[in-house]
Amino acid sequence: MSSIEVNNLNVWFDDKQALKGVNMTIPEKGITAIIGPSGCGKSTFIRSINRMNDIIPSCRVQGQILVDGKDLYGPGVDVTQVRKNIGMVFQRPNPFPKSIYENIAYAPRIHGTRDKKKLGEIVERCLRRAALWDEVKDRLDKSAYDLSGGQQQRLCIARALSIDPEIVLFDEPCSALDPIATAKIEDLLEELKDDYTVVIVTHNMQQAARVADRTAFFYLGELIEFGDTSQLFERPENELTENYITGRMG
Amino acid sequence: MNMLSRSAKEKLYFGLFRACGALVVLTLVVIVAYMLVGSLPVLSLDFLTEPPRGANARGGILTPLVGTIYLMIIVFAFAIPIGVLSAVYLAEYQGKGRGARFWSIVVSNLAGVPSIVYGLLGLGLFVTFAGLGRSLIASGLTLAILALPIVISAAREAIQAIPPSLREASLALGATKWQTIQHHVLPYALPGILTGVILALSRAAGETAPILLTGAAFYMSSMPDSIFSQFMALPYHVYAVATQTMAGMNGSPVVYGAAIVLLLLVIGMNLIAIIVRKRYREKYRW
Ligand SMILES: Nc1ncnc2c1ncn2[C@@H]1O[C@H](COP(=O)(O)OP(=O)(O)OP(=O)(O)O)[C@@H](O)[C@H]1O
Ligand SMILES: [Mg+2]
């Protein structure tokens, strides 16, 4: 339940600038959607929030991202600690090729929880939170790859919750799923937003309109408009935003 | 121009491919059958448990068999850790820049160096310079160097074949790079690494030139009693019996017997690799 304050964020890949002077304050809790045409920097933006861009050698980040007042890019900040407090769910379900149990128990274990009973509790709690428990409770030792795509994605959500984060980032979590699985994930997002600060990138404007409390529109690496979802979709202030949401722009 | 119809062409090429495939299988069958028939007179358990007699021309092959197994253990102990760790370094820490290309050129060139050159290197480096003398350890280390590029390139390929999304999943949970390698990259790459290891061991098991220069003996009345003593080894034993004894030159069954044991050793290692690989594929699959 942390707020995220982004100050003048610039990101480059080699000498190509992917984000240009982004300023944005995401309040705690609730769902914030990021929309915009392909290549506008949505993924780059949310990957800056948990410093996943650090693993791309050509990537350079400048600016500040304050979570609860602390700069994630400040000197002496431990990247693994940053990521430990921020969960992330990716576009394609990417469970580990291990058992369902192992998928959830992995992170708590590497962060120091050894006790079997405790781990079991964490696994159950996370799977319940991700609305997957009833479907998998009898086969926790089976491979995560035996699950359907939608179940795998909910497993990945449960895994992201296993580190007990305050913020959870979703990068187009439904783009590889069918409508029914998508609806389940959307219900789940509603459940999570009271306890977590949720940021979700989506290509699907209806999805943003359905689930998000606030929506941000990015275009060519710049934040064009950010506001309440209803306001942004019904009375956009910027012409670019209007063109995009009315479908006059890719 | 086009005298054959497309379907006739299809049949022709398919037949050709099938014939080539059959030829490969046939070659293996012929090799094994030829060795088997030649070695029939000596094939028995005694052949494995008795040392050579009569200036190598008679008796069993216990001494060279044990020598070869010792060599494999040394190769395994040195080439695997060094090879796998350098593969991890190349695949995970070098990235894809100029440095990485330089390294991959070095590794593939090393794989092409003739084995006699490794023998000379071992002679200079281990036997003379390091003062190990002509010994089991000098030969084992020489073979380990020879096996290294095979291990490295197989392990590196296996590591690079792991989807980046799995690494990202681990890193995003706050795992360090090393934890990610240790808990995900290496276990998932293990089947591929293992294949390379077995290939490398098989290659090393059959080499004659490097051990000839660094410690293999024509004949020894006893087993090597330490890693610093000389030893007999199967490939050299085959060579020695076949070229240096009257019986051998007349097609002694000992030659074929030693050769088929070497062959079975290699095939056995490959079988173990297949079984372990299958087990792991069931455990980790993506
Ligand atoms: N690893 C990378 N190396 C080089 N350039 C990159 C890399 N990742 C992203 N970019 C560039 O940065 C810009 C923004 O990419 P990003 O992935 O953030 O867009 P996106 O809005 O998420 O697009 P999409 O909707 O297609 O996922 C693009 O121009 C892209 O080419
Ligand atoms: Mg994207």
B176/A80 touch (CB, cutoff 8 Å), yes or no: yes
CA A171 to chain centre: 5
What does the pLDDT read at residue B286? 58
Which whole number is the average pLDDT over B167-188? 94
User: Which range marks the domain in which residue A54 is found?
Assistant: 4-245
Q: Is the CB of A13 under 6 A from ligand 1?
A: yes
Give the integer Cα–Cα distance in Å for B73 and B137. 10
Q: How many structural domains does chain A have?
A: 1
Q: Which residue of A10, A15, A16 sits with most ligand 1 atoms within 8 Å of its CB, as the best mutation to test the pocket?
A: A16
Nearest to B172 among A52, A98, A145 (CB): A52
Nearest-Cα distance to chain A for B167, in Å, is 9
Give the integer Cα–Cα distance in Å for A221 and B200. 50
In this structure, what DSSP letter does residue A2 have? -
DSSP per-residue string spanning B52-91: EETTTTEE--HHHHHHHHHHHHHHHHHHHHHHHHHHHIII
Residues B251/B35, Cβ–Cβ less than 8 Å: no
Cβ neighbours of B286 in A, within 8 Å: 97, 145
Indicate the pLDDT class of residue B2, thresholds 50, 70 and 90. Answer: low
- pLDDT digit string, tens, across residues A139-185: 999 999 999 999 999 999 999 999 999 999 999 999 888 888 899 88
Q: Ligand 1 centre and the CA of B95: distance in Å?
A: 19
A110/B179 touch (CB, cutoff 8 Å), yes or no: yes
Indicate the pLDDT class of residue B140, thresholds 50, 70 and 90. Answer: very high
Give the integer Cα–Cα distance in Å for B24 and B230. 38
B169/A145 touch (CB, cutoff 8 Å), yes or no: no
Which whole number is the average pLDDT over A31-36? 95
What does the pLDDT read at residue A17? 95
Helix locations, A36-194, DSSP H: 42-49, 79-84, 100-110, 116-129, 133-136, 149-161, 179-192
Q: Which residue of A11, A12, A13 sits with most ligand 1 atoms within 8 Å of its CB, as the best mutation to test the pocket?
A: A13
Interface ipTM: 0.93
Give the integer Cα–Cα distance in Å for B24 and B26. 5
Amino acid at A207: Q
Query: Which residue, judged by its Cα, is nearest atom 6 of ligand 1?
Result: A13
3-class DSSP state of B255? helix
A107/B179 touch (CB, cutoff 8 Å), yes or no: no
Cβ neighbours of B176 in A, within 8 Å: 80
Please report the residues numbered 16 through 35 in chain A whose beta carbons come closer than 8 angstroms to any beta carbon of chain B: none
B183/A106 touch (CB, cutoff 8 Å), yes or no: yes
Q: Is the CB of A48 under 6 A from ligand 1?
A: no
pLDDT more than 90, % of chain A:
80
pLDDT more than 70, % of chain A:
99
More confident residue, A69 or B247: A69
Residues A181/A153, Cβ–Cβ less than 8 Å: yes
Cβ neighbours of B184 in A, within 8 Å: 96
Query: Which residue, judged by its Cα, is nearest atom 25 of ligand 1?
Result: A38
Q: Is the CB of A42 under 6 A from ligand 1?
A: yes
| Domain presence at residue A72 | yes
3-class DSSP state of B24? helix
Domain extents in chain B: 1-39, 45-283
Which whole number is the average pLDDT over A97-113? 94
Nearest to B174 among A57, A81, A98 (CB): A81
Cβ neighbours of B172 in A, within 8 Å: 50, 52, 83, 87-88, 90, 160
Nearest to A110 among B97, B163, B175 (CB): B175
What does the pLDDT read at residue B276? 82
Instruction: Say yes or no to pLDDT of B270 above 90.
Output: no
In this structure, what DSSP letter does residue B14 have? H
A vs B: CB pairs below 8 A: 68
The DSSP H or E segment spanning A22 is strand A16-26
**Paired tokens of A45:** 């933006």
What does the pLDDT read at residue B1? 52
Q: Which residue of A19, A22, A44 sits with most ligand 1 atoms within 8 Å of its CB, as the best mutation to test the pocket?
A: A44
Nearest-Cα distance to chain A for B244, in Å, is 56
CA B243 to chain centre: 25
State the residue for tokens 């006790």. Answer: A115
What does the pLDDT read at residue B241? 87
State the residue for tokens 């074929």. Answer: B256
More confident residue, B53 or A201: A201
A94/B179 touch (CB, cutoff 8 Å), yes or no: no
Q: Which fold has domain B45-283?
A: MetI-like fold (1.10.3720)
Q: To probe the interface with B, which of A49, A51, A55 has the most B CB atoms within 10 Å?
A: A55
Q: Is the dihedral of CA B221, B222, B224, B229 positive or negative?
A: negative
- Residue A110 sits at the chain B interface (C-beta within 8 Å): yes
Cβ neighbours of A107 in B, within 8 Å: 173-175
Nearest-Cα distance to chain A for B80, in Å, is 25
| Domain presence at residue A250 | no
Cβ neighbours of A143 in B, within 8 Å: 285
- pLDDT digit string, tens, across residues B85-138: 999 988 887 766 777 788 888 888 888 899 999 999 999 999 999 999 999 999
- Residue B166 sits at the chain A interface (C-beta within 8 Å): yes
